[in-house]
Amino acid sequence: MVVAAALPLVAEYGAAVTTSQIARAAGIGEATIFRAFKDKDEVLDACVAEAVGTDHVLRELATISLDEPLDVRLTEAAEALRAYMERMGTVVGALHASGHLRPGRGGPDNREGRDGRDGRDEGRDGQHGAGPPPDARAQSFLALRDGVVELIEPDRDAWRLSPEKVATAFLGLLFTRLHTPAPGAEAPLSPDELIAVLLHGSLKHPGSDL
């Protein structure tokens, strides 16, 4: 309840959000927060863990009916994954911009202590990690890939590549779409364009020498 109420506030205010704001949004007394969390930093770390965690989006992927046509399944998956990645980027970006997160310090579960001796509190300079450690990021990617594999597995015989490679390509295209384009650059692929490229390639006449 506390983290769910805090997430939109963290996205808006970053580390400047106050526990009184979070308490009001959650409809609880501020003291209740400190029965569950040691301090505001622990609340912020819990928000990062929730934002980067894959459980919610994997549940959404699992609700997509395998009876739907392949392009419909992929469109629904793209929307669920887009919302997940945008929320993750907004929360982590807001905390990074406001000084709570710093690249190279590890994540909320992998950071040096205030005195450099343990991993439970803040980093030496009082700033926390910029996200999960590399192993956790790799595990998250594999979990997302496996979630997409389940969606496209019924069409295994139609693919020239393994479902695992197709799912990896799908996620790669989707991740690239979320990057902010440089000024003057082409707009990123729409979900429909992304799925059309994945399913049919980018040639007007597939199979030609052109």
State the Cα–Cα distance between residues 58 and 81, nearest whole angstrom: 9
State the Cα–Cα distance between residues 110 and 128, nearest whole angstrom: 9
Mean pLDDT value across residues 74-84: 93
- Residue 78 neighbours by CB distance under 10 Å: 22
Tens digits of residue pLDDT in 116-132: 334 334 443 444 544 55
On whether the CB atoms of residues 178 and 89 are closer than 8 A, the answer is yes
Long-range (24+ apart) CB contacts under 8 A made by 207-210 are none
Which pLDDT band holds residue 111 (cuts at 50, 70, 90)? very low
Tens digits of residue pLDDT in 154-185: 999 999 999 999 999 999 988 876 655 556 66
Which pLDDT band holds residue 106 (cuts at 50, 70, 90)? very low
On the 0-12 / 13-18 / 19+ scale of CB atoms within 10 A, 193 is: middle
pTM: 0.71
How much is the pLDDT for 115? 38
